[in-house]
Each structure stands twice: as C-alpha cells, then as structure tokens.
Chains A and B, each alone.
Chain A
Amino acid sequence: MPGSPPALLGVRNLRGAVLPVVRLAAVVGAQGGEAPKRVLVVEEESGAAAGFAIDEVLDVGEIGGVDEAADSALLTSQMLTDGGELVGLLDVGRVLAVVRGGATP
C-alpha cells in the first residue's frame, strides 16, 4: 500500500471490512518472511483489528509458566518456556505501536 509504514504489507478485505496486514517478520526482525502464506487476525484492546502475515500457525494452546523477568524486550512482553523451547509472547499493542511509529506520508 503506497505511502504506508514500511512494516505494513497492505490492506485486504475481511468480510466486508478493511483489514491492515502487518509484515510481522519485519517488525520482530526475523529472517525470511518473504512470502508469508497466512494472515492471523488480531485485535487490540481498543478494538482495532489488524492482520499479521505469518508462515504458519504451530499450535494454539494455553500458556503456562510465564517468565516475567524478560520484560525488557519491548515487543515480546514476556517469555515462556514451553517444553524446553523458548517462546516469545508478542504484545499486540506494542507491535501495532511500532508499525504506527514508522508511518510516512
């Protein structure tokens, strides 16, 4: 979408509403993400919806042991260990704030 923040992939039609889609890989600084296949729809506390372009959904589950010590990393509000794997818990509001911050005319 012309003139939009660089982390924004574009807008798409979601059941008659206009949904901005965020290049999630660009925001979190991850490798790849050139051709994301799916869009995960998220909603902020304020009710604003957005889409995150992702490769795939690995699992949907409840979160157990949350390690709150790692809250200095700004995009991931908390980290948790799931079966020995370190998983970042994305703070949707902060991700969207970063996208907003990079807006150009």
Chain B
Amino acid sequence: MSDPETEFLEIFRDEARERLDRMVDTLLGLESGQPPPDAVDSLFREAHTLKGAAAMLELDGVRTLAHAIEEILEAARAQDGGVPEEAVDPLLRAVDCLRRQIVDGTGDGADLVSELGAVRTRLQTPETSDEITPAAPPTSMDGVHPERQRTIRVPAEKVDRLLDLVGETALHRRRLDHALGNSAVGRQAVADELGTGERLLDDLQDAAVGMRTLPLSSIVGGFPRAVRDVALAEGKEVELATRGTETELDRVILEGLSDPIVHLLRNAVAHGIELPDERERRGKPRGGLVVLSADQRGAVVVITVSDDGAGVPQSLLEDAEKAGSLAEVLARPGFSTAASVSELSGRGVGLDAVKAHVEAVGGSMEASSRPGEGTAFELRLPLTLALLDVLLVERGGHVFGIPLTNVEEGVEVEESLVLEGKTALRVRDRSVPLGDLAGLLRAPTAPLSERAPAVIVATSGRRRALRCDRLLGEEQVVVKSLGPLLSSLPAYLGAAILGDGRVALLLEPGYLVRAEGDDVVRSVAAAEPARAPKVLVVEDSFTVRELQRSILEAAGYRVKTAHDGRDGLNSVTSDEEIDLVVTDVEMPEMDGIELTRAIRAHPQRSSLPIVIVTSRASDEDERLGIEAGADAYMVKRNFEQQALLETVHRLVGR
C-alpha cells in the first residue's frame, strides 16, 4: 500500500464527495423553495467538517473556502435562520469549486472567498445594498496536479457479498479436501492443482478483505499536529505515542473516526495532562504522555486514548459508581470537564457526540480513570469481517476456538499441585493456575478423563491452563457475530462455522484468564449447576401473578407464589430457600407495605431483598414503600419485564 498521507487523501476525497453531494441537494432544495427542515444547520455541519479535515491535510484553499461558507451560514443563522435567495447561487458555485479542488486537485477559490465575504457583509447589514462582485469564471488548470490513485466507488453491500462468497468458497474448499481424503494421494497432478487452488484462495481472501478494511495508520497522520497545537495553546508539554496503528478497521467505520479520536486526543491534552509545574510538584516528568493504541480482539477492535494526567475528580468517580459507567457520566450532553471552552476545541464534537457516533456504528465507549494517574477512553468498534487463527478444542461435545495469539502451548497434564486450595500446573518450573474449561463456562458436563490435555492461555501478563477433552488443531476462521441476543456474554468473542458445518464458539482470552477460579475447581469435582435463586411473588391478581412467574422462570429463577401479604409472610417464614420477594401493594388481608414492614421486623428474615411492584405511581407512595424497607419500587404502568429482571438480578445476583 502507498504511504498514509496518500491513503488519507483518498479517504478524504470519498468522504468529501458525499458531503458535497448532500450540500448540493440541500442548496437545490433551498433554491426550489422546499428546503429540508434543518438546511442551514446541515450545510454548516458539512462545511465545518470539510474545513477541519482540510486543515489537517494542509489543503489551505479548501479550508479557506469552507470557512467562508461556514461564515456566511453563521451570518444567515444570526439574522433570521434562513439562507437568503441571493446567497444560494454563490454557495452552489463554492461547493463546485470545493469539488474541483478536492477531487481533481485543480482550481482556486480565492475569488469565491471574496464574493462570499461580500454576500456576508450584506447579510449583516441588510439595509445597504452593495454591488455584487461578479464571480470570475472558474479557471481550469490543466497543469500539474498531485499524482493520485484511481478510485472506483462500490456500494459496501457488494463488497460484503463478495466477502461472504469468499468465506463460503473457503468452506467449500475444506469440504472438498475432506471428501477427496486420501484418494488424491499418489495422483501428483491433482495434488498440485489443489495446492495451487489453496494459494489462490488465500490471495483472493486477502484481496477481498483489503477492499473492506484499512489500517488505523491511514488516519493518524494529522493527530500529532492536533496534539501539538492544543498543547501549545494550553502551555503544556505533551508527547503523543501510537501503538498498534497497523490494526485494520472497517473502512466505513474508519472514515468517521477521525473527528472522534481528535476530540479524545484534545480532551486528553486540554483536560487530562497537567501544566508542567504542576506535574513536577506531583513528582511526574514535566512532559505528559498521551497514548493512542489499537488492538484487535476477535470481532472487536479496541481503540484506546489514554493520558498520564490528573484523572477525573473524585466526585465524578462517585457519580460513575452510581451510574455504573464513567463514560456515561462524562458523556452527559452539555457536560464539560473544561471550565471554559478553549479556542481549539471550539465548535468540535463533544464527548456525547463521540459516544453517539461510536454507538451508531454498533460500538461502545468505556472510560476509566485513577486520580493522579490518568484517564483512558476505550472505543470498542465492531469489525464487520475478521479472520482469526484459532486453536480448536473440544469439551463436553462442544467445539471451542481460542485465538492462536493467546495460546502459549498445549500440554499433557501429568501431575497438578494444590496451592491455597487452588489447583495449579507446573510447566517448566513455572506454576500456572489450572482449570476445567467447562467449569469456567459453567457448563454442566461429564468430568474430564485423567489424561485430558490442557491449553495454556495468556493475555495481558496473566495465564491459565485450561483442561479440555481434546485438542483438535489450528484453523483460520471467519469470525461471525453472535448477534444482539448473545453479544452480552463476556465469555465469547463470536462464533465460526467450521468446514463440516458445525458451529465453534470463539472464546475471549481475557475472560479465560480472569474468570472466577473457584468455580473451576468445584466443577472439576462435580459438574453440578448452581442452584437458581428462589423468588416469592406476592400478588392478588391471578393474571399478574402467573405473568411474573413466567417471566422469572424463563429467566431461570425458581418461583413460589402467594395471593396476599399474609400468605406471603407465611411463605417467607416457612421456606428458607426464598432469596427475594416481589410484592404488589394493594391486597386483601395484608398489603405489600405491611408485608414489607413485617419482613423487616422479622428476627431471621429482616435482610431479605424486597421489590414492590405497584400501580400506585405517586412520589408519596414510593416514599412509603422505601421507608417501609423495600429495596426497589417499580410502577406497573410502565412495568417492563426487562426492568424487573434487571432489578431482581441486581438484588440476588443471577
């Protein structure tokens, strides 16, 4: 591939074409008197984005003209919100001129810049009617322009279709090998052709994947400058380090990623890194470090922007604890860690926009921070297609794949030792924690045979030996997403379809080394599934009661029911297995509030979690319920099973 600068220019051309097309559509809509509702804002956004990218690529002509467009729109917005008729034509010509400069590398926008300037002046002082400076005809410069790659634009679906077909062809190829078996041996000509076919298929696969992906390095070109500019403006000393920028990302995702990353980098410099004197006082080097790194983890690419600055204030960390996510807290619309918006971060996107963007492409954003040590933002982005080399292993009749980069070796287990109640394996004078793969995944299955092998999995400095029934061998697989229904399971990266049509579940190495070790040992002894928590549903309406029972049972809980508070209290005192109570408020005999009070006053069961589900929605009722000692209060009107399950899960941890 060519150098990053040229690659980024190609991407910018593609992006700019789309933006300019949209601007023309909007302007034509204005001219015909049927503008889209947010015409001015959308024109402004497009021009602003083009300006930003052009500045980074040092395309000064484009930047200046885009800026002039932006200014005229700002003036229009300040007047009455609409684009005046007389401005439409010069704007259209300006868009054309931008297109010539960006796409063909020809033309000069200087005349248009002054023309737009004149229009703007008139807009700002509407009563004076200045003379319009006629625009010079576009000058065609057929002379030298930068050499560039020829580009064709193809809808993404077509490339995806091609990729699917390549994947299917690879599977077909494996089935063919399987079917031919040994019959091809001894027939040299056939064997040779098969070998050639395999090489061609590999090349084809690489070429097809290359159409869909680009390395992160293709957009990092302007980042050092962005960091330097902010550092200079803020009076700070900052170094930008990049790691893993050869990581390939989906082109479509990559194209929109430049602005969000620049925002995170600027944030890190402006709000993360302290002033040099301040750092010195805290015993840190005067210069701060901002690290941009990328890392492929199965079907996800993680891009991290971290700094070694002050970290976010303790109060925010406490908020984050409550909200469950620091990213959530920092990305609240309108929230800014800066006391004042600095000149450089200017009109750029906010953290909420970064989060929204990442989520729009199917990813997620996470943040972590340690006071005094720094802050890190993680963008987890899906890779629509990923090829992964895995080691296939079998346990309990299932086939699992472990990324080969995380496999240290496969070993025979001859003797294990027990340290502090945990089993470990001795491998070349090193002790590695040993576990059963099935235990780790909480899969009830037959115990391992005595000679069962183990795979040593390592990631981020931790390792663990996992025993399974058989090691099946290495294979390159196409990673497929498990879909929204299963993507929340932390143990899996995705799945792959094997040559024989079976599905292999791909395991997340991080989960394998970190998941609870206790479960492993216990399930090696006896693969007994953990007993499900038991929920008591107290409700006088038969329908609601049975409904809640079915929801809870479907989620794997054991359920007992009671038809009023008195009945419920009897169950609580007589059945020790009850782990949680879900109760209605209005019931005959004893209502939910009385039941709650009675449980709280009970000598043995006073700490039982209680969820009140009621049709009473007033704050006063909620206060009564909480005061009586309920752990959660939910209103039936907007009662959602998901919310109930989440609450129950939170309280009894299943």
Which A positions have Cβ atoms within 8 angstroms of B?
Answer: 1-8, 11-13, 16-18, 20, 22, 26-29, 46, 48-50, 72-75, 94, 96-105
B488 at the interface (CB under 8 A from A): yes
Which B positions have Cβ atoms within 8 angstroms of A?
Answer: 164, 167-168, 171, 396, 398, 438, 441-443, 480-486, 488-492, 494-495, 497, 501-503, 505, 515, 543, 546-547, 549-551, 553-556, 641-642, 645-646, 649, 654
B645 near A101 (CB under 8 angstroms)? yes
A8: shortest Cβ distance to chain B, in Å?
7
Determine the chain B residues whose CB is within 8 A of the CB of A97 once the complex forms.
Answer: 641-642
> Which of B443, B484, B553 has a CB less than 8 Å from the CB of A2?
B443
In the complex, A2 Cα to B438 Cα: how many Å?
8
A16 near B645 (CB under 8 angstroms)? no
B485 near A100 (CB under 8 angstroms)? yes
The 3 closest A-B pairs by CB, nearest first: A102-B555, A2-B443, A6-B556
A22: shortest Cβ distance to chain B, in Å?
8
- A29 and B549 in contact, given A3-B441, A16-B164, A98-B555 (Cβ under 8 angstroms): yes
> Which of B488, B495, B505, B546 has a CB less than 8 Å from the CB of A103?
B488
B554 near A29 (CB under 8 angstroms)? yes
In the complex, A97 Cα to B505 Cα: how many Å?
22
> Which of B398, B443, B488, B503 has a CB less than 8 Å from the CB of A13?
B503
Q: A46-B484, A103-B486 are in contact. List 6 more A-B contacts (CB 8 A).
A: A1-B486, A7-B556, A96-B485, A98-B645, A100-B642, A102-B556
B640: shortest Cβ distance to chain A, in Å?
8
B482 near A7 (CB under 8 angstroms)? no
> Which of A3, A75, A99 has a CB less than 8 Å from the CB of B489?
A3
A94 near B641 (CB under 8 angstroms)? yes
B444, closest chain A residue (CB): A2
A11, closest chain B residue (CB): B503
In the complex, A28 Cα to B550 Cα: how many Å?
7
B325: shortest Cβ distance to chain A, in Å?
18
- A13 and B555 in contact, given A4-B486, A18-B495 (Cβ under 8 angstroms): no
Determine the chain B residues whose CB is within 8 A of the CB of A2 once the complex forms.
Answer: 396, 398, 438, 441-443, 491, 505
A74 near B551 (CB under 8 angstroms)? yes
B534: shortest Cβ distance to chain A, in Å?
15
Q: List 6 A-B contacts (CB under 8 A).
A: A2-B443, A3-B492, A20-B485, A98-B554, A101-B641, A105-B490
Determine the chain B residues whose CB is within 8 A of the CB of A6 once the complex forms.
Answer: 554-556
- A16 and B497 in contact, given A5-B556, A101-B645, A102-B645 (Cβ under 8 angstroms): yes
In the complex, A96 Cα to B487 Cα: how many Å?
13
A49, closest chain B residue (CB): B483
In the complex, A29 Cα to B551 Cα: how many Å?
8
> Which of A4, A7, A73, A74 has a CB less than 8 Å from the CB of B555?
A7
- A75 and B503 in contact, given A98-B555, A101-B642, A105-B491 (Cβ under 8 angstroms): no
> Which of B503, B546, B645 has a CB less than 8 Å from the CB of A18?
B503
In the complex, A4 Cα to B278 Cα: how many Å?
50
B483 near A4 (CB under 8 angstroms)? no
In the complex, A37 Cα to B641 Cα: how many Å?
29
- A75 and B485 in contact, given A6-B556, A101-B645 (Cβ under 8 angstroms): no
